[in-house]
Amino acid sequence: MDVQPDDLPDGLVIADGAGRVVCFNAAAVRITGRSREEALGSPLHTALPLEDLDGRRWWQLTDPYGGPAIRNGQPERNLLLPGGHEVLVAARYVRARPRGPVERVVVTLRGTEARRRTERSHAELIATVAHELRSPLTSVKGFTATLLAKWERFTDDQKRLMLETVNADANRVTRLIAELLDISRIDSGRLEVRRQRLDMAAAVRRHLEAHVAAGRPASRFKTGIADKLPDLWADPDKIDQVLANLLENAVRHGEGTVTIEVQPTSFPRDPGGTATAVTVSDEGPGIPEESMSRVFTRFWRGSRRGGTGLGLYIVKGIVEAHGGVITVDRAPEGGARFRFILPVGAPAFMA
Ligand SMILES: Nc1ncnc2c1ncn2[C@@H]1O[C@H](COP(=O)(O)OP(=O)(O)O)[C@@H](O)[C@H]1O
Ligand SMILES: [Mg+2]
């Protein structure tokens, strides 16, 4: 395949061993507002007069040709071009041999649209969260105000009903906040996985017993658990969260019998290794083909049956923090089928 520098969506500037610009692609022209003729052959620091946000000259500061010979580049940073134009800049120093002299400096430039997009998605997230918090709080506020103002006018049964609603809405806010904290840990890579020996078969059975104890008919659930399962080291609380979410979804969004299978499998990225696969399927409407790629994103909801749309995003975050994978497809019976695979996760395996 033959890719020309001008085909690249990002700015590309390459300087030779003497620090002279030898490549200045079309995106670099667009981002810097400098012509190619002007740039080619001139020193890097005049073709790209970058400054950091404190006004220091970037090339003097980083000194690619004279700096420590172990340095191989600069991570992406937000810098300024003359006129205060922001650019995201990353550099790689190409050496003929390790610790040898720098033969080429390859610089990429990105306009700030990428960052603006991230900022916009943060703003959208904040708006959604504010909205999600406001509706239950509006109800809490409304019922408490009504009860306080007209306490004697209601019967005990009416008061009980209102307080039950207030209680449920308060629970919803608490749950939402717990989910948001999980999401912030997942997004910032701070989700801690405390691995222990985990008996997946026992965990699954415990969850099913809890559903039955809560009044759901035992006939709604079916299990297929292999006799011999591979060892598994995982965070029991987090795996509980995964199982709880998938089962709750199957019961709430799905229909008919919910089947949970626990089987040994090989891990996709490590075909020789053993892994544990857990499959949760139901006989409901399933997830429409065109939405399958979106079910694991934040706030995506197909139906209007309660829920915040955060459950599956957290499930995926937890599974991936364990080095696992999760997928969704259609069960043979027509409903949704979720399947997650966890590698053994033993300390020796992870090292
Ligand atoms: N077993 C299932 N059957 C059908 N749809 C499902 C199933 N599980 C999840 N979904 C769809 O995926 C959406 C996102 O799920 P989730 O992230 O857990 O959010 P929530 O349960 O809060 O709505 C749900 O709103 C639902 O439309
Ligand atoms: Mg859910």
Single-letter amino acid, residue 38: E
Evaluate: CB of 295 within 6 angstroms of ligand 1: yes
Q: What does the CA dihedral 229, 235, 241, 245 come to, rounded to 10 degrees?
A: -40
For residue 179, which of 291, 292, 302, 299 has the smallest C-alpha distance? 299
**Are the C-beta atoms of residues 341 and 209 closer than 8 Å to each other?**
no
Same fold, 5-111 and 115-187: no
pTM over 0.75: no
The one-character DSSP state at 287 is -
Nearest alpha carbon, ligand 1 atom 11: 302
Backbone φ and ψ for 281, nearest 5 degrees, come out as -130, 160
CA angle, corner 237, sides to 175 and 199, nearest 5? 145
What CATH number was assigned to the domain covering residues 5-111?
3.30.450.20
Going from the Cα of 315 to the center of ligand 1, the distance in angstroms, rounded, reads 12
| Distance between CA atoms of residues 2 and 64, nearest Å | 29
Counting from 1 in the atom list of ligand 1, the atom nearest the Cα of 296 is 17
For residue 93, which of 79, 103, 80 has the smallest C-alpha distance? 103
Order of strands across the sheet that contains 221-225: 221-225, 258-267, 270-281, 336-343, 325-330
For 179-201, give the DSSP string: HHHHHHHHHTT------EE--HH
Class of domain 196-350: alpha beta
Confidence (pLDDT) at 305: 64
User: 128 by DSSP, 3-state: which?
Assistant: helix
Evaluate: CB of 316 within 6 angstroms of ligand 1: no
pLDDT tens for the chain, 351 residues long, are: 788 999 999 999 999 999 999 999 999 999 999 999 999 999 999 999 999 888 899 999 999 998 778 888 998 888 999 888 889 999 999 998 888 899 999 999 998 776 777 777 788 888 888 888 998 999 999 999 999 999 999 999 999 999 999 999 999 999 889 999 999 899 888 899 999 999 999 999 999 999 999 999 999 999 999 999 999 999 999 999 999 999 999 999 999 999 999 999 988 777 777 899 999 999 999 999 888 888 998 888 887 666 778 999 999 999 999 999 999 999 988 899 999 999 998 765 444
The one-character DSSP state at 161 is H
**Are the C-beta atoms of residues 49 and 81 closer than 8 Å to each other?**
yes
Q: Which ligand is nearest to the CA of 254?
A: 1
DSSP run (H or E) holding 237: helix 236-252
| Distance between CA atoms of residues 95 and 71, nearest Å | 10
Evaluate: CB of 307 within 6 angstroms of ligand 1: yes
Nearest alpha carbon, ligand 1 atom 25: 301
| Packing angle of the helix pair 156-187, 113-149 (nearest 10 deg) | 160
Q: At a CB cut-off of 8 Å and minimum separation 6, what does 40 contact? A: 21, 22, 23, 24
**Are the C-beta atoms of residues 74 and 48 closer than 8 Å to each other?**
no
Classified by CATH at the fold level, domain 115-187 comes out as Helix Hairpins (1.10.287)
For the chain, the structural domain boundaries read 5-111, 115-187, 196-350
Tokens 């399927």 correspond to what residue? 281
Neighbours of 60 (CB within 10 A): 9
Q: Which ligand is nearest to the CA of 281?
A: 1
> To test ligand 1's pocket by mutation, which of 312, 330, 340 has the most ligand atoms within 8 angstroms of CB?
312
**Are the C-beta atoms of residues 109 and 13 closer than 8 Å to each other?**
yes
